Structure formats: structure tokens, C-alpha cells
Amino acid sequence: MDRYMRIGMVRICLLLFVFMGAKADSETRNSLSHLRKDLLAQQDNAVPPFKGNSKSVDVSLSFTPVTILDLNSVTQVLSVTGYLKLSWLDSRLTWNVHNHSDVRLMEVRSGDIWTPTISVGNSVSDMNPVETKIPIVVMHSGYVTWQAVDVFRTVCKIDVSRFPFDTQHCPLLFTPPYGYTLNITIDDDDIPGKNFLGESGEWKTLRVSALLSFIETFEIAEYMLTLERKYVYYLINFLFPMGLMSILNPFVFLIPARSGEKLGFLMAVFVSHTMFLSLIHGNMPPTSDSTSTLSLYLLMNEIQGFLTIFASIIVLVVHHQKEEAQTNTTSSDTKPFSGSCKSCNWERLLDCVFFAVFLTIAGGSILILFI
């Protein structure tokens, strides 16, 4: 009998707990619903929450880059996924938590209350304000938090002078348009370290910094992303093959002139240099503000190829003069004169001199990339 009584008491206690919990949940929902109606009924979303007699609103801004999607060197456009947060104090949105079932925060839509207007000043698409569908969080103290997660595409001027060993500085400018005055402050606590950013396959994030600047009466929050190019791809697919081809040019002077392959060998190398030059230019912006060291190196290779062709023609001219002299001597049925031997010596001497000179030029031009 006692056993059945104990089981019955346990069941009754469980039912009481479930009933009390459901009642508490119902009270919380009802309290939150009444709170929303009371607060939002008094709101005018076109009027800022001015404090006292001031005509400005203090707004805390923070931007957290999440992933570097791309930095296009040709179009000079940075694409980054980021988290933008705005915070401010609205004294009209305060309540006593003890009178509302200990409700300490609530979520509202953007159109229900006043929100500051912020635009991306260097956006490539438009200057429309940043919008979000994420609910706004309102604390019982009147502290309001607005959040947006989006892909920001901004202008980033590329300096190609050290391509592909270059470092780029890309700004993101957050500015309020003309209208109500916003006193913007930057929340440094939300600036991530470089190890917390998702990196692209081409760029490595060195650091993220923030500063507040002024243009006339406007305050601008500027976030600077410092990115370093990962050069291994260019080293393997561009620099290494081009370096080998530039060293191949002098070896044409080791080919005997009588083989008839000197100019054919040189033209093949010359055309390869031209192809690499067009590929490199396809990866750089069409700008005259700076000149890439790699472009200068390719230009030197083109000049070296032209001079090598010119020097090879001189060697071939000497070689054919020697052959003509030998032919004339043989046709006259006389003893060969010493001029043919001198021509032969001149031919080999020119090959040796040109080989040493152009090999030195090829090695020196490679050093330009690393100066």
C-alpha cells in the first residue's frame, strides 16, 4: 500500500512541475507581448533618440571581417564577408524587469524603431545604406544592438610595383549620409586578429586596423585590411619557367653555325617570352601609376632576345664569309690561304664572347626581381 502511495505522490509532483513550468512560460510570453505593445506604441521610427538638448546620437560601430573572398588585381575590387554592428542608447526603450516577468531583452524589426543610417563609402556597386533582416536586440536598459552580415565589395587601389611579392592596403569606409548627426566611435574589441580570418587561396591577411577620420562635418570609420599575396603559384608557373628561358638564350652560341638551327632556336625562345608577357599583363590592372618589376624583367628578356638574335646574325655572317673563302680557295686549285683559318677563329671567339656576355645579362636580370 505504501508503495502505491509513493508512486502516486511522485506522479502528482511531476504534474505540478509541468503545470508550473507551463504557467511560467505563458506568463513570459504574455509579459513580452504586452511589453512590445507598450514600448512600440510610443515609438516614432523617424525621430532619433536625442539625449537632452543635443542634436546628435552617440553610435558605437564595429566591423569584423570574417572571410577574404577575393581581391581582383585587374578590376581592383575587394570582396570580403563581414559582420557590421551598431550600438546606441535609446531611453524610450527602457523597462523595469521586475514588472515584466524578468524579461531583460526583446527582438524587434528594423522598421519598428529608429535606426542609424550607415553606407559603405567606397562601395563599387552603390551608396545605398546597409540593410539587414537580422532582428534588432533591445536590452531593458535601452541599449540597442543592430547587426548585419553581408558581402562587402569595395574599391582597393592595387600597387603592382612588387608583383607578385606585393602587399596591398584595402580600406573599408563606413560613413553616415547627410542628415542627423551621428557621433561615431569605433569598438576596438571586435577587431579580429589575423589568425581569426578565413583567407583566400591567393591572399594572406597580415593585420586589420581601424581609425576614425573626418571629411568636413562627416565622421568616417575606416577599417584597413593589409593583405599579402601568396606568391608560390606565380613562382612555379611564371618566374621559374621565365628564368630558365632567359638562361637558354646564351646557349645558342654553343650551337655550331653550320647546323643552321641558331635562329630557329632563338625565335622559339623569343615567342615564349612574348606569351608569358601577355599572361602577366592579364593578371595586372591597366594602370600607369606604378610599373611592375616583373614587367621590367620581361622587357629586359625581350631586349636580351633581340640582342641575341642580332649577335647570332653577326656570327652567321662571319661563318658564311669563311665558307665563301674556302669555296673560292678550292675552286682556284691553290693552297688554302691563312684567311680561312682566321675566319674560323673569329667565329668561335665571337661565340665564346657573346655566350659569356649574355649569360651574365641573364643572371643579372633575374636579380632584379629580388631587389
Q: Is the pLDDT score of 191 beyond 90?
A: no
Q: How confident is the model at residue 15 (pLDDT cuts 50, 70, 90)?
A: very low
- In which band, very low, low, confident or very high, does the pLDDT at 310 lie, cut at 50, 70 and 90? confident
Q: What is the per-residue pLDDT for 22? A: 39
354, with CB counted inside 10 A (0-12, 13-18, 19+), is buried
Burial 98-135 (b: 16+ CB within 10 A, else e): eebbebeebebebebbbbbbbebbbbeeeeeebeeeee
Q: What is the pLDDT of residue 252?
A: 80
Q: How, if at all, do strands 56-72 and 181-186 pair? A: parallel
| pLDDT value of residue 188 | 75
User: Mean pLDDT score of the chain, rounded to an integer?
Assistant: 78
Query: Which carries the bigger pLDDT value, residue 342 or residue 256?
Result: 256
Q: Is the peptide bond before 164 cis (omega within 30 degrees of 0)?
A: yes
Cα end-to-end span (Å), the chain: 96
Q: Are 183 and 56 in contact (CB under 8 A)?
A: yes
* pLDDT score recorded for residue 223: 93
Question: Measured between alpha carbons, how far is 65 from 77 in angstroms, rounded to an integer?
Answer: 16
Residue range 338-357: mean pLDDT, rounded: 67
Reply yes or no on whether the pLDDT at 225 is more than 60: yes
What is the distance, to the nearest Å, from the Cα of residue 175 to the centroid of all Cα atoms in its chain? 22
* Distances 74 to 104, 156, 170, 228, 289 between C-alpha atoms, Å: 51, 11, 15, 16, 14
Q: Compute the distance between CA of residue 75 and CA of residue 201 in angstroms, rounded to an integer.
A: 18
Residue range 194-202: mean pLDDT, rounded:
67
Lowest mean pLDDT among 2-16, 50-64, 128-142: 2-16
Kindly state the average pLDDT of the residues 30-46: 77
pLDDT: is 75 or 32 the higher one? Answer: 75
Q: Which residue has the higher pLDDT, 148 or 190?
A: 148
Q: Is the pLDDT of residue 175 over 60?
A: yes
Query: What percent of the chain has a predicted confidence (pLDDT) above 70?
Result: 80
Sorting pLDDT into bands at 50, 70 and 90, what band is 170? very high
Task: Indicate the pLDDT class of residue 190, thresholds 50, 70 and 90.
Answer: low
pLDDT for the residue 181: 82
pLDDT at res. 231:
87
Residue 19 has what pLDDT?
41
Supply the pLDDT for residue 12: 54
pTM across the whole model: 0.74
Sheet holding 203-215, edge to edge: 119-120, 167-175, 218-229, 203-215
pLDDT band per the 50, 70, 90 thresholds, residue 255: confident
Which pLDDT belongs to residue 156? Answer: 93
Half-sphere exposure of 330 (CA within 13 A, CB side): 7
Q: Across residues 290-297, what is the average pLDDT?
A: 78
pLDDT above 90 covers a percentage of the chain that reads 16
pLDDT digits (tens, 9 = 90+) for 122-165: 998 877 889 888 999 999 899 999 999 999 999 999 888 888 88
- Residue predicted with more confidence, 107 or 35: 107
User: Which of the residue ranges 82-91, 125-134, 233-242, 314-323 would you say has the lowest mean pLDDT?
Assistant: 314-323
Mean pLDDT value of segment 213-222: 81
pLDDT in the model for residue 18:
42
User: 347 falls in which pLDDT band (50, 70, 90)?
Assistant: low
pLDDT tops 60 at residue 240: yes
Quick check: 306 pLDDT over 50?
yes
Torsion angle in degrees (nearest 10) through CA of 39, 43, 45, 49: -90
